Amino acid sequence: MALDELRDELDQIDSDIIELFEKRMVIARRIGGYKKLKDLPIRDRERENAILKRLESKVSEEVKFGVEPLYEKIFQLSKEYQMEVMNNSSYNPENYYGLIGEKLSHSKSAKIHKLIGGYDYEMYPMDSYELENFLRIREFSSMNVTIPYKVEAIKYIDEMSSLAKEIGSINTIVNKKGKLFGYNTDYYGFKYMCDKAGISLRDKNVLIFGTGGASKTIETLVRDEKAKSIVLISRRGENNYNNLEKFKNYDVIINTTPVGMYPNNLECKIDLGIFENCQAVIDIIYNPLKTKLILNAERRGIKTATGLDMLVSQAYYASQLFLDKDLPIESVESTIKKIKQEMLNIVLVGMPGSGKSTIGKMLAKKLNKKFVDLDQLIEETTGMSISDIFKEKGEGEFRNIESELIKNVGKENGLIIATGGGTPIYQENSNALSQNSYIIFLDRDVNKLERKGRPLSKDIESLEMLYKDRYNIYKSIASKEIKVLEDMDKTLELVIEGLIEDEIISD
């Protein structure tokens, strides 16, 4: 490997390290705030030693020497950062906003609220036994509430809006001079989501999957929108997944369950083939951007609505309650756009030798994103070249290895991914790539395709046949088709122009 390529790899690693370091320090600041609220000491040497021991067990002997000095420095910086919070007289917990829930590590809410309301917004993951004490102390201005506390938190609220009372769950708490008021902005977020997608619920037969807190909110909205009938599907109730045929004539399907949510991507328990009159499918999951249920609906030409619109719009309505003022509604769409740009992978598909890896590396460097070459990942994982895998294990085993890796890569966000030539021809691979990605088909003249070291590109006749078989597959999965020029810099310019045109990146 050339020196420049090695340095490029180091540059990417350094970018990843500094991004993770920034995230670590942000969390350290939150911990400082928490320790101030709880009157806890800054240093926890027992935890530090446990971290060092765990990390040393994860590295090879030749680099173990560096773990302790590296992390002692990180611990010191974290403690200094926490001390700033604890000694800062301007730190006022009553000006704090955030999210209460059980598992919040993948939440986008902090970024969303910063974009909409301009304030800092903290994550407060807690167990149920901590919830009562947190809400009893009341040292915060406003909080959002998520799974699994939307119903439980009601016990500690002084007053609720009439809508929240009707629904029986809250997702927003506002502290007004020591008195806690509960609201439900998920209701308005779901309405925004439906309106944006052009989905009408009036006079429709609506099937809602799930019976939890989110289901209660959505059932109320659907009823208020004058649906003809509403049926809730649960795992063990009278109406369940085993008797869906009873509802084959229903018009709208709404998923409020976590089935298909990260990290269990591409799970789906609903066969849309059952529903002969289905006009719309709505899934409130936002990670991934498109669940398998949504992908299946799109493939059938059914109108869809996805969870990111609801997540951002409910945050907008919550922000207005937090700040007690009107905010521009335009901030909803501008925030959706920014969050989607951060989450989307950019995937390059096309024939073997079409320039996917070359353009992918150039694009990743240009956009300062991580690059993943699936063929290279397969070789690193197996310790074999692609040609040797085909020769020794056959194409079938190669495709199995490829599919397993794509399942994991497709879950991630913000990557530039170069696929193998045959990757998209399998539906499971197509789903894994499409769930979080903007896909570009790099279409290169067959006569210019590189053939060296490519098992299925032995001669021009084989290539022409392969191209004919795959062209429509590439085209159907892609959001943009780019004709590859022999000047790769100019091809990159075309790719960048296409990404800006479709608002995948900002100009």
Which are the catalytic amino acids? Answer: 150
Q: How far apart are CA 176 and CA 485, in angstroms?
A: 62
As to burial, measured by CB atoms within 10 angstroms (0-12 exposed, 13-18 middle, 19+ buried), residue 17 is exposed
Residue 143's CB: how many other CB atoms inside 10 A?
25
Distance of CA 224 to the CA centre of its chain: 30
Instruction: Name 220's Cβ contacts closer than 8 Å, sequence gap at least 6.
Output: 163, 166, 167, 187
Residue pair 434/417 in contact by the 8 Å Cβ criterion: no
CA angle 194, 298, 247 (to 5 degrees): 70
Hey, what are 468's tokens?
């004919």
Residue pair 199/305 in contact by the 8 Å Cβ criterion: yes
**Which amino acid is located at 211 in the chain?**
T
Q: Following CA atoms 116, 118, 120, 121 in sequence, which dihedral angle do they give, to the nearest 10 degrees?
A: -10
Q: Following CA atoms 36, 41, 45, 46 in sequence, which dihedral angle do they give, to the nearest 10 degrees?
A: -90
Q: How far apart are CA 461 and CA 294, in angstroms?
A: 39
Q: What is the DSSP secondary structure assignment for residue 17, as one 8-state letter?
A: H
Residue 329's CB: how many other CB atoms inside 10 A?
10
Q: How far apart are CA 484 and CA 444, in angstroms?
A: 5
Q: Does residue 186 come out as left (phi exceeding 0), alpha (psi in the -120 to 50 range) or beta?
A: alpha
What b/e string do you get for 87-124 counting C-beta neighbours within 10 Å, with b at 16 or more? Answer: eeeeeeeeebbbbbbeebeebbbbebbebbbeebbbbb
CA angle 217, 219, 223 (to 5 degrees): 120
- Segments in 368-438 forming alpha helices (H): 374-382, 386-409, 427-434
Q: Which is it for strands 172-176 and 142-145: parallel, antiparallel or unpaired?
A: antiparallel
Hey, what are 134's tokens?
């947190």
Q: How far apart are CA 349 and CA 440, in angstroms?
A: 6
Hey, what are 168's tokens?
């029986």
